Amino acid sequence: MTILFSCFTVNHTDIMICHSAYQMYVGTLEILCYLSSYADHVKLEEKKEDLGEVLNGDELVSGPYELDFLVDKDSEMLCRKKLTKDEVAQFRRAVDKDYYFEMYYDELPVWGLIGRVENREETEDTKYYKYLLYKHIHFDIHYNMDRVIEITARMDPYSVLDLTEDREVDAEFTYTAKWKGTDILFENRMDKFMQTSLPHILEIHWFSIINSCVTVLLLTSFLATILMRVLKNDFIKYAHDEEAVNDQEETGWKYIHGDVFRFPKHKSLFAAALGCGAQLFTLTIFIFMMALVGVFYPYNRGALFTALLVIYALTSGVAGYTSTSFYCQLEGTNWLIKHKLLARKRAQTTRFKSTVEITVVELETRGNLVKNLVWTGCLFFGPLALTFCFLNSVAVSYSSTAALPFSTIMLIVLILTLVTSPLLVLGGIAAKNSRTGFQAPCRTTKYPREIPVLPWYRSTIPQMAMTGFLPFSAIYVELYYIFESVWGQKIYTIYSMLFIVFLLLLIVTAFVTVASTYFQLAAEDHKWWWRSFLCGGSTGLFIYTYCLYYYARSGMSGFMQTSFFFGYMACICYGFFLMLGTIGFHASLLFVRHIYRSIKSRLITIVCIVVSIIVLRSNKVTLDNGAILEYDYYNSYRYMFAIMVAGIIYNTLHIPFAVYYLVAKKHLIKHKSFHNFQFYGDKITFGIIATAAGASLGATVDLQKIVYTENNSKFDYFLGLMYIPNAFLVAAFVSSGISSVLSSLSLNKSE
C-alpha cells in the first residue's frame, strides 16, 4: 500500500535561479505524517487542488521541508521529537508492513522506505526482530538551467531509531540536499518513468498479443469454413419468392427466415443498452487517443479522472442519438400504421375528432421516446451513482481522503445537469428527426414460429459462458498488469500494446458472437437479438470473476478496501458488459443482414487505409540537428505505404462491380475467371495488409525501445503517432478479411 508521505508541488514557470524557497505539501494520512508526529510547530495549509486531484483522493497540506533552488543543505535539522508509546507502535507496524513514502517535488515523484527489519536473535521455535526507523533523508536534485529535472531520496542506513520496545524515544530527524547539473532536457524528464514496464516484461505483453492473434486467426478460419461450406446457397434462396421457398423442404436457418427480423421484447430497454454501449465505446476510443498522443503520463495526478468525467459528459449525445435512432427503427412501423389509419379516419369523421386522435398518438409517441431517453440516461449512470453514494459514505465513516467533499459532489451534479442531460436529449431529438425504418432484407411473417425444444447447452447461460471465455482468454495476461497498476504499486505505460489488445478483444468478441448467433439460428431459434447482446457482453462477467481471484492473492483486507475494490470493479465490468454487448449485437446484425454485399467491407477497407495514409504522410518532426524525420526514412514504413496504395487501388476497382450487384441483384461479369480473380485477389490483399501491419507495428515498438534509452522526446512523439495509422491498418486488415470470406461465398455461388 502506497502512503503519500509528503508532496512537493511547484510550477516550473515559477522556478528562478535565485535562492527562493518552495512550499512543500504533505499527505494528511496519520501514521506517516511528519507534521503531526514530528513537527508540531509547523502550521498546516491546505493545497488548492483541481478536480482530477480531488477525484484521485489527493488531500495535501503544507510540509516542513525547505529545498531552495541551488542551495545545498547538510544535515539540516527537521525537528526534535519525543515519540510516545502509541507513536512508536504505529511506526513499528508501518516498518513491519514495509510501508514506503512517495513524495513529489515540482510534480516529480520520489520514493523511499521508512525503515527496515533486522533479525535480532533466533531460537529453534522463535525469531526475534529489530525494527529500525530511518531518521535521515538525503535528496539528490538534478537541474538543467532553471528547470528541475530529477529528484531522488536515499535513506541513511546508519542513522536509525530502534522501535523494537514499547517505550518513549527521543528522536532527531534531519535531511540533506545536494543539487547537481544534468544534460537531460526539461521535456524529457518524465521519460525514465515511462520505462518502468520496459523492456524486461515486454516479452510477456507480446505473448499476450500473439495469443490473441492466434485466437483471431482460429476464429476467422472457423467462420470462413461455416460460411463457405454451410451457407453458400442459403442466401440465394431468400431472393426468390416466398411461395417458391415454401415449396422446398427447409431446415435450420432457411426454415426461420421469416422470423429472424421479428423485433425483440422490451425494445426500449434494448435500445437504451445499445445507446449506453455506444457511448462507453466512444469514451474508450477517446481515452486511448489521448493516451497514445502522450496526454497521460506517470504521476500526472488526476488527469485520467478528469478526462473520464468530461468525455463521459460530452459523449452523452452519442448515447441519446444511438438509443433513440434504434428505438425509432424498432417502433417506426407501428407509428406509420397508426398515422395512416388516422389519416383515413380524418376523411370520414369531423375535423375535431381526428385532431384529437392524432394528438393522442403524438403524445403516446413522445411518451415512448421520453421513456427511452430515461432508460438510456439511467441504465449505466444509475448503478454507478448508487455505488458511488454507498462507497463515499463508507469513506466518510473511515475519515478517508477517498471521500469526496460536498463541493466536488455538487460540481459533478452540475456537470450532469447542465451538460450530460441536455446533450442526451439533443441526441435523441436529432435521431427522432432523422429516423428511418428498419432495413430488413427478409419479410417477417405475421405469426411467430414455435421454437423447438433445445438441449440445455443451447440455452442462454451456457452460450454466454462459452462466448465470454474466448475474448477473456485473449486479454487475461494484460489484465494482471492493469489490476496491478490500478490497485497495486506498478506503473502501466505501454498504452500502445493495451490498445492493440483492446482491438483484438473487439474482434474476438464480434467473431464469437457471430458464431453463437449462427448456431442459434441453425437450431431454429429466432430470438437472437437479446442473446447476441448477452453473449457479447459476457466477457465482463469473466473479468469480474477474475476480480475474485486477484482479490484473494492481493492481500487486501478491511471493509473499506473490500467494498471499494468490488464496488468500483462491478461498475467497470458492467460498463464492459454494455460496450462488448453492443459490439456483439452489431456484428450479429451485420451477419444476419446478408453481409455478403461486399461493398460495405470494401468501403470500410478504403476509408481505413486513406485515414492511415493521411496520418502517415503528415507525421513529420524536426529534430534538434535540423533534420526532418518522416515515414520514408525507414523501410518498414515505406513498405506499409506501398501496400496501402495497392490496397486502395485494388478495392476501388471492385467498387463499381459491387454497386452494380447491389442495384441489379446480379453480377456484371458472370465469367468464372472474374470470380477467381476476386477470390485470389482478396486472399492476397488480406495477406499483404497483414504483413504491412505487422512490419510497421514491430518497427514502431522496436524503435521506441531505443527512444526510451536515448530520451529523445521528438522521436518519441513521431513514433507515438505511428500507432494511429497502425491501428487503422489493423482495421483495414479485419475488413479485408471479411471481403476475403465473402468473395469465397461469391465463388461458390457462381459454380
Q: How many domains does the chain have?
A: 2
Q: What are the beta bridge partners of residue 376? A: none
Domain extent at residue 136 = 2-189
Q: pLDDT tens-digit profile of 214-225?
A: 766 776 666 666
Instruction: Give the per-residue pLDDT at 196.
Output: 53
Asked if 371 and 418 touch (Cβ cutoff 8 Å), the reply is no
Is residue 575 pLDDT above 70, yes or no?
yes
Confidence of residue 596 (pLDDT cuts 50, 70, 90): very low
Q: pLDDT tens-digit profile of 681-734?
A: 777 777 788 788 777 777 777 776 665 544 456 666 777 777 777 777 777 777
Buried/exposed 685-712: b ≥16 CB within 10 Å, e otherwise: bbebbbebbbbbbebbbebbeebbeebb
Cα(703)–Cα(698) distance, rounded to whole angstroms? Answer: 8
Instruction: Give the per-residue pLDDT at 358.
Output: 47
Last residue of a domain, one of 189, 206, 241: 189
Query: Is position 586 within any domain?
Result: no
Instruction: Give the per-residue pLDDT at 487.
Output: 85
How far CA 473 is from CA of 252, 297, 531, in Å, comes to 31, 28, 21
HSE on the CB side for 443, CA within 13 Å? Answer: 9
Last residue of a domain, one of 163, 189, 215: 189
Contacts of 501 (CB under 8 A, 6+ apart): 208, 209, 212, 474, 475, 478
Query: Is position 99 within any domain?
Result: yes
Is residue 540 pLDDT above 80, yes or no?
yes
Q: How many CB atoms neighbour CB 348 within 10 A?
A: 8
Q: Which residue has the higher pLDDT, 568 or 242?
A: 568
Asked if 331 and 267 touch (Cβ cutoff 8 Å), the reply is yes
Q: Are strands 115-122 and 127-134 parallel, antiparallel or unpaired?
A: antiparallel
Q: pLDDT tens-digit profile of 395-449?
A: 888 887 778 888 888 988 898 889 999 999 999 888 888 777 666 555 666 667 7
Query: Is position 661 within any domain?
Result: yes
Query: Is position 306 within any domain?
Result: no
Last residue of a domain, one of 168, 189, 210: 189
Angle between helices 495-522 and 559-592 (to 10 degrees): 60
CA-CA-CA-CA dihedral for 663, 667, 669, 672, to nearest 10:
160
Q: Which residue has the higher pLDDT, 215 or 111?
A: 111
Asked if 150 and 182 touch (Cβ cutoff 8 Å), the reply is yes
Is residue 272 pLDDT above 90, yes or no?
yes
Query: Is position 7 within any domain?
Result: yes
Asked if 608 and 728 touch (Cβ cutoff 8 Å), the reply is yes
Instruction: Give the per-residue pLDDT at 724.
Output: 79
Query: Is position 480 within any domain?
Result: no
Mean of pLDDT over the chain? 74
Query: Is position 574 within any domain?
Result: no
Q: Are strands 100-105 and 108-113 parallel, antiparallel or unpaired?
A: antiparallel
Cα(504)–Cα(345) distance, rounded to whole angstroms? Answer: 56
Alpha helices by DSSP H, listed for 489-625, are 495-522, 529-554, 559-592, 599-618
Q: pLDDT tens-digit profile of 600-647?
A: 566 677 777 888 888 777 777 776 666 677 767 777 788 888 888 888
| Report field, pTM of the whole predicted structure over 0.75 | no
Q: pLDDT tens-digit profile of 279-306?
A: 999 999 999 988 888 787 766 667 888 8
Q: pLDDT tens-digit profile of 120-162?
A: 665 555 567 888 889 899 999 999 888 888 888 888 888 888 8
Confidence of residue 205 (pLDDT cuts 50, 70, 90): low
Comparing 505-519, 687-701, 729-743, the range with the smallest average pLDDT is: 729-743
Query: Is position 28 within any domain?
Result: yes
Confidence of residue 13 (pLDDT cuts 50, 70, 90): very low
